[in-house]
Structure 1
Amino acid sequence: MVPTPPTTRSLWPFAIIAVFVLFAGYIGFMVQQAMRTTVDLVSPDYYQQELAFQQRMETVARTAALPAPVTLHHDAGTHQLTVQLPADMSGQRIQGQIHFFRPSNQRLDFTLPLQPTAGLQQQLSTARMQPGLWRVRLDFTADKRNYFVEEKIIL
């Protein structure tokens, strides 16, 4: 009888199995992290707002066609936001709301009524608002016609 030489085992099968096990563990960890992450929509009625998109586009086009623009000016020194409506709207019945949206934190969002003075201007204090990016949406009606303006401000 001839003795057989000792066989050496290859580590490749174990390495391949280890790579697959580590990859499966990594994928499982990533799925777990994704399931724990909260995803908040910008507003609770996001889908209903999306359905009204075409109407909003018509309103934006009507606002852009005004002879003078609706302006929102933030003065960081005095912490004042000034909303100025066009002079052509004087004498018209104006109603509306000013929505303040904080993209990073939905809990900071709030709405104020639009109450312009006789000079078609309204000033709002921004002193108590947290610093950062805000979206200001002005949604108003003048003589039964809807208008909409959205601007970003950084406090």
Structure 2
Amino acid sequence: MNWGKWIIVSFVLFAAFIATLVTVCVRQDVSLVSKDYYQEELKFQDQIMRLENTESLRVKPVITVNQQGVEISYPELSSITHGELMLFCPANAHHDRKVVVPAASERLVVIPAQELSAGMYKARFTWSMRGKDYYIEETLSL
């Protein structure tokens, strides 16, 4: 076999490799953190204001994991008018949880461990209090 044939064979093998690589990449499941990611980006200035409001607080909420589950403890929990905890599982969108935190007189909210699958979660807690919105984010491992 001469050089010309080997060059043609190498180009054909390279093209087959690229075609296989493209096929594998196209079939890969890409799960975003949020379904409406682009709409959330448009509201980013509101998010910056929430973060600034949270930084101005003397005492911030604490999100922890223990044997009972995920706990939110906050001394001023009773003055919250609306709260929402989003638990995002980056590995699997089916494990995401949304919990509405009621305006309560208690200082502690618990999400039972039985309702959550093991893995890493991003806990995003947003709440309204005294006419302002607040936001805190923690990475949790169950």
Q: TM-score, normalised by structure 1?
A: 0.82
Per the alignment, residue 87 of structure 2 pairs with 100
Q: What whole-Å deviation, never above 9, does each CA across 1:94-138 have from its counterpart, x for those lacking one? A: 211111111011111121111364243212212331111011111
What is the aligned length?
A: 142
Counterpart contact for 1:116–1:122, Cα < 8 Å:
no
Q: Give the distance between the partners of 1:39 and 1:90, measured in 2 at CA.
A: 37
Higher relative contact order (CA 8 A, sep 6+): 2
In structure 2, relative to structure 1, the CA distance for the partners of 1:93 and 1:152 (3 Å cut) is: closer
Q: Could you tell me which of 10, 21, 24 is aligned with 1:19?
A: 10
Q: Which residue matches 2:98?
A: 111
* Equivalent residue, structure 1, for 2:46: 55
Once residues 69 and 118 of structure 2 are traced to their aligned partners in structure 1, the CA distance between those partners, rounded to angstroms, is: 13
After superposition, the Cα gap between the structure-2 partners of 1:62 and 1:133, relative to the gap in structure 1 and judged at 3 Å, is: same
Q: Following the alignment from structure 1 to structure 2, what is the Cα–Cα distance between the partners of residues 93 and 30?
A: 52
The separation in 2 between residues aligned to 1:71 and 1:90, in whole angstroms, is 11
Q: 1:79-98 deviations in whole A, cap 9, x for unaligned?
A: 3222112x3x3663421111
Following TM superposition, the consecutive aligned residue runs of length 4 or more in structure 1 with deviations greater than 3 angstroms are none
- Aligned identity (percent) is 25
Q: Deviations over 1:26-81 (max 9, x none)?
A: 11111111222232322221110011112101211210220012111111xx2322
The aligned counterpart of 2:37 is: 46
Structure with greater proportional helix content: 2
Structure ID, larger Rg: 1
Superposition TM-score, scaled by structure 2 size: 0.89
Trace 1:6-155 onto structure 2 (pairs within 5 A). Answer: 11-75=2-66, 78-85=67-74, 87=75, 89=76, 92-115=79-102, 117-155=104-142
Please tell me the residue identity of whatever aligns with 1:154.
Answer: S
- The answer for unaligned runs of 5 or more in structure 2 is none
Distance 1:34 1:90 in 2: 47
The CA distance in 1 between the partners of 2:78 and 2:121, in whole Å, is 31
What are structure 1's unaligned runs of at least 5 residues? 1-9
